[in-house]
Structure 1
């Protein structure tokens, strides 16, 4: 149109980011070029490709301490029990900070990568994560240092109290490497770089086995060589991942050290990290309570429980890895202002996890009668494992839903919802009910009936909550979270608020 007296003197600058309406229009144009079912299949295939390296990385990560337990177990039964108990305690405390606390990076870093005008904001979030999670880990390190008193309060045997406390003291330096390694993985995953964690662990897993053998048996350090060797492997994993970023890929989002910006908005990050710890921890702690309850059912029940838990820890890397991939994918889409694609990604992850859970169910049911023989020759243990396995197999679908939908909630920054659902489902219903059944005629099967009920409640509730989400609002919340952290389109440039602009020219 020709200019007139109401025409603006200066034209509006083009928008840096598309609006939700613009994004919807783009998605509508994509819908004309591809049928809807192809868009869904494409999303499921993308999630499959991205989740496989994440699952492999977590499997290898778990193998570090599994190999350590196997090697130290050749010293004596007491050494085996001490190492297994110590790593279990580490899993329930420090490793929970690494795997639960870094879900704040799943939420914020992936949204920042696509939603922030400054690509170096991702590097600031990495530094913020290292600072906050190191502070959380410092609290755990103090608990580990005085854990002898904690173990006595829990009624453990004297050799466990003394040796396990010393084991954890030697593990304190290496545990921080585990936390930092997990932060670096999330920094890369936010950039849609998923494979380096697997590459690094393919190097450090055999290195860990060699160091454990060297320190425990050849250098004569015995039991305490295990935490030193494994700690070195954790730090090597972190340093190799840093080297990958520096020399291969991922350094574009690193703008250098900026401690003032990193600590400027630390509370919002710490809150998300703490909620992520509770979200993941409420499920893990429930399984530990089941393990403690199984110990009171007798030696055979405890042995069968150990077999099942060992298998479940390996299987659980599938839904957990899928949840991490879904969380990162969803955060990228919300930061990129793509509500329709975000909804499709969340439901695609749930569908994929259901398919994977059904396949695992079929495999477990087909081998239930012989599975226990892999770990133990006692016919009573093998038979009890076969009796309980149908319940373990049945909850695999629900466990998959829990992993994928929990990952979707973390990508949306709604860790508190997952934590609340877990608390209600496990601690207000399934655990008390399962323990009641266990000691009233059902035995070990009763405990796993409770876990099965809990996982189905959690999985269904979380999928319903994800399905009822207003995705336009979730996009807005993602941008608001970035701005609250001094990032995004209107975030502070230097973390100093309005004071940082006082001397800027107009």
Structure 2
């Protein structure tokens, strides 16, 4: 194939017009594939963007509803949501292993593998949930180490104790989404959230008005378990579910190393980024309640807009993983080029423009305090510039997941955030007059380095070796 392509790109070697025609057809075919993939990925990404934004809004609305109660309540829910998001990244990271395994197995028509990986991911996630739930239950004993205000600690701890009951639904929804997405179903999660989110908003504001602060986490708990149940019911309606008849109980509890080996670096990739950003929110408390509230609002908006490129990263990851399973390295190359050149650039322009031109309006949704609003708006301008690098980081990370090369991304995330970005941000914040703004400038440098390195590893990918590794994985693991 490589020789044939080389011949097409150099028609003089054919010595006749037929060689030129073959080259033209080859280029036309590539453009046609690119157009088709752009349409398919954009459609799936749009659906995923809505899904992620709606899902993220379940916890974001708690900031809006409780923020109206006062600055202390806003600080409490902010710290609690920081803890929740960092902890939830473990479940999301676990589920990202399915971005590699399930689409590849589905492309190879190893449907039994798809079902087994899904169930195994749920089982492992529930085991990981036990220490996390204990951490939340006793959060009042350790929050004092990072937050000075006793009232903020009291509100945050109360919130987290209630949110322990959201874990089952959260896990089921994350894993259910991945199972459906591996089968090219990107719409069910969105449709279920169109039911769940309005229900959550109504429940949230109603309960906050009736029982106060604790009404917000109660509403989130009910919503997560509701949508988790709904997506599980959808999952068992898929043809893949029929494979449970071919599985024995021992298979569900064996071969976990395959999934864990991908899940751990996947968790590190997400956790490193999320935790770095959330550390900033915690450290912002050192500059006062106004800085903490502004940081919380800016971080919430950054996380909200993160869902757009992340959805493209997931759609791209699923699409490439499926082509890896089909042994189509030509499409893998075309999709990768399309993602890095056209999609990443477009996503940067969208996110950057929203932060620059709509920053003040967006911060006003979260708070009516003018000092908090002005500080948060200034932070968003720094975040707008950081989007240039972060978008390439997110897209490249998605491609690495599709290849089963999460380990590379895990190492690079640790280096970029914790050896470069976070230390630099802390120095700029506490050793200069930049304060909160220094956090984001320092992290921006780390993100730039991360994006350059991840993109480099994607560009030098050896697709034939990656496809052979996928065949070996699914041929000898759980099939």
Conserved? CA contact 2:273–2:417, under 8 Å: yes
1:303-330 deviations in Å (ceiling 9; x for gaps): 4323322221211111111111111111
Greater shift in the superposed pair: 64-73 or 100-109: 64-73
Larger Rg: 1
Matched, 1:285 2:275: yes
Corresponding position of 1:421: 412
Shift, 1:128, TM fit:
0.8
Shift, 1:443, TM fit:
2.9
1:41-97 deviations in Å (ceiling 9; x for gaps): 33222211111111110100011112233334455554443333222211111x112
SS at match of 1:440: coil
1:206-227 deviations in Å (ceiling 9; x for gaps): 1122333454444x4x433333
Q: Of residues 341, 351, 365 in structure 1, which corresponds to 2:331? A: 341
Q: Of residues 54, 62, 67 in structure 2, which corresponds to 1:68? A: 62
Q: Of residues 35, 38, 45 in structure 2, which corresponds to 1:51? A: 45
Measured in 1, the distance between the counterparts of 2:167 and 2:320 equals 29
Matched, 1:256 2:244: yes
Measured in 2, the distance between the counterparts of 1:20 and 1:254 equals 40
Measured in 2, the distance between the counterparts of 1:471 and 1:45 equals 23
Corresponding position of 2:305: 315
1:249-271 deviations in Å (ceiling 9; x for gaps): x3345422643212110122122
Matched, 1:182 2:174: yes
Call closer, same or farther: CA 1:480–1:320 in 2, change over 3 Å. same
Corresponding position of 1:269: 259
Greater shift in the superposed pair: 156-165 or 37-46: 156-165
Conserved? CA contact 1:371–1:385, under 8 Å: no
Matched, 1:106 2:110: no
Measured in 2, the distance between the counterparts of 1:388 and 1:229 equals 30
Call closer, same or farther: CA 1:428–1:170 in 2, change over 3 Å. same
Measured in 1, the distance between the counterparts of 2:311 and 2:73 equals 31
Call closer, same or farther: CA 1:98–1:486 in 2, change over 3 Å. same
Q: Of residues 188, 192, 204 in structure 2, which corresponds to 1:196? A: 188
Corresponding position of 1:36: 30
Call closer, same or farther: CA 1:121–1:21 in 2, change over 3 Å. farther
Measured in 2, the distance between the counterparts of 1:421 and 1:35 equals 36
Shift, 1:338, TM fit:
1.2
Corresponding position of 2:393: 402
Greater shift in the superposed pair: 472-481 or 385-394: 385-394
Conserved? CA contact 2:103–2:182, under 8 Å: yes
Conserved? CA contact 1:301–1:381, under 8 Å: yes
Measured in 1, the distance between the counterparts of 2:202 and 2:230 equals 18
Unaligned runs of 5+ in 1: 1-18, 488-506
Matched, 1:393 2:351: no
Q: Of residues 238, 246, 251 in structure 1, which corresponds to 2:228? A: 238
Measured in 2, the distance between the counterparts of 1:234 and 1:401 equals 31
SS at match of 1:256: helix
Aligned residues: 461
Unaligned runs of 5+ in 2: 7-21
1:428-456 deviations in Å (ceiling 9; x for gaps): 11222222222313333322211221222
Measured in 2, the distance between the counterparts of 1:237 and 1:153 equals 35
Call closer, same or farther: CA 1:482–1:230 in 2, change over 3 Å. same
Greater shift in the superposed pair: 315-324 or 206-215: 206-215
Q: 1:99-498 counterparts in 2 under 5 A?
A: 99-116=92-109, 118-218=110-210, 220=211, 222-246=212-236, 250-256=238-244, 258=247, 259-351=249-341, 352-367=343-358, 372=363, 375=366, 381=372, 383-385=374-376, 387-438=378-429, 439-487=431-479
Greater shift in the superposed pair: 57-66 or 383-392: 383-392
Shift, 1:29, TM fit:
11
Measured in 1, the distance between the counterparts of 2:280 and 2:317 equals 28
**How big is the alpha-carbon RMSD for the aligned residues of Structure 1 and Structure 2?**
2.9
Shift, 1:342, TM fit:
1.2
Greater shift in the superposed pair: 295-304 or 442-451: 295-304
